[in-house]
Structure 1
Amino acid sequence: MASHFRDAVLDVWSEVFGRVDAPDEWAISPWDRHRARPGYRLALAHADDRLVGFAWGYTGARGQYWPELISRELSAAADGWVGGHFEFVELAVRPGARGEGVGRRLHDALLSDLDHSRALLATTSDPQDPAVRLYSSRGWLSLGTYGDGRQVMGLVLPH
């Protein structure tokens, strides 16, 4: 079902993150690779029958690249967070649709009614970045940084 939305999601992705030179490769990774993960979810936002934003995530597990990376990089700060968490992977809103609550609604839709007790994501460590402001306003906490200033944030999910 989610593959039906691939081209529209790629269009938003290209506008937000930069043009994708190899759409067929993008369709394999990250699109198909992430959709194949357990617990995959896709949230979409439309305005006037046009996709204006998306968010996706899945269940993160030990042995996967990113959970293992942050476990090594954050050590004790990641204890109790990694493995069985919901991994909030992508959130993108077209520039023309920003400032209208689309990101907040996508965030909330993606996380609604999850069976997970916690969620993790990576973002910039710049507190003025709109994404960081959104996540902080929704209760996400910084667990630490790794690499070139990437921040890992965690959220305790309601049951």
Structure 2
Amino acid sequence: MELRHYTELTLEVRRDLLAVYVDVRAPLLHLANYRVEAFAERLDRHAGEPGFEVVLGYDRGEAIGYAYVNALSPDDRWWKRMAEPLPAGFTALSTVALKEIGVRAPWRGTGVARRIHDALLAHRTEERVTLLVNPLAGDGKVQALYESWGYVSINAQQPAPESPRLIAMVRANG
């Protein structure tokens, strides 16, 4: 597998990322929050935010997986959408948010997701990383996978009215 890092969302990167997204999320594309157009709008917005970076994985030239992040500021809306108040000073630590990760079915369970994840975070200087996970995804297996990577649940949020309630997780970066 070849891993490619990008800090800009070029047309080629956007095309490859959306192709993987459509494949990965196919069973959910009928839901408003998972529609390709809704994801593309989020992706375009995230690409313009501080600290944007994406890693795409390729197997023999075919895009097979991706992950992307943004840096969070202490007053970022990410923190403001939490269901419960966060402890005083919690947002003061430098944090990067893993906004999205996906791997096409034939490559799942092979370690591709972890390799993409780790490559994306390897040179980031933030002290910790946070993500949101649907606790129902894979009947809880996705959240369990993140827990095996060192993430712990800290809160919950519902980023948009049409989105499911998601579990906020965090871990040290490094």
Specify the TM-score bucket, using the shorter chain as the normaliser: 0.7 to 0.9
Flag the 1:152–1:78 CA change in 2: closer, same or farther, 3 A. Answer: farther
Q: What residue identity is the alignment partner of 2:150? A: G
Deviation digits for residues 63-82 of structure 1, max 9, x if unmatched? 44322102xx2313585146
Counterpart secondary structure, 1:116:
coil
Q: What residue identity is the alignment partner of 1:154? A: V
Deviation digits for residues 83-131 of structure 1, max 9, x if unmatched? 7310110000011211111111111111112111111111023595332
The answer to whether the Cα contact below 8 Å between 1:8 and 1:51 also exists between their aligned partners in 2 is yes
Q: Per-residue deviation at 1:14? A: 0.9
Q: Distance in 1 between matches of 2:36 and 2:165?
A: 27
Counterpart secondary structure, 1:121:
strand
Counterpart secondary structure, 1:129:
helix
Structure 1 unaligned blocks of 5 or more: none
Cross-structure match for 2:3: none
Flag the 1:89–1:22 CA change in 2: closer, same or farther, 3 A. Answer: closer
**Which residue of 141, 144, 162 corresponds with 1:133?**
144
Aligned length: 154
Q: What residue identity is the alignment partner of 1:8? A: D
Q: Distance in 2 between matches of 1:141 and 1:57?
A: 18
Flag the 1:133–1:26 CA change in 2: closer, same or farther, 3 A. Answer: closer
Q: Distance in 2 between matches of 1:102 and 1:52?
A: 9
Cross-structure match for 2:16: 8
**Which residue of 117, 128, 135 corresponds with 1:107?**
117
Flag the 1:82–1:142 CA change in 2: closer, same or farther, 3 A. Answer: farther
Question: Alignment identity in percent?
Answer: 24
Bigger shift: residues 48-57 or 79-88: 79-88
Flag the 1:76–1:2 CA change in 2: closer, same or farther, 3 A. Answer: closer
Give the TM-score of the pair, scaled to structure 1.
Answer: 0.82
Cross-structure match for 2:170: 154
Deviation digits for residues 27-79 of structure 1, max 9, x if unmatched? 4x222211111111101111121000000011012444322102xx2313585
Flag the 1:47–1:151 CA change in 2: closer, same or farther, 3 A. Answer: same
Cross-structure match for 1:59: 71
Flag the 1:81–1:32 CA change in 2: closer, same or farther, 3 A. Answer: same
Give the TM-score of the pair, scaled to structure 2.
Answer: 0.76
Q: How much is the aligned-residue C-alpha RMSD, in angstroms?
A: 2.5
**Which residue of 61, 65, 81 corresponds with 1:69?**
81
Structure 2 unaligned blocks of 5 or more: 1-7, 159-163
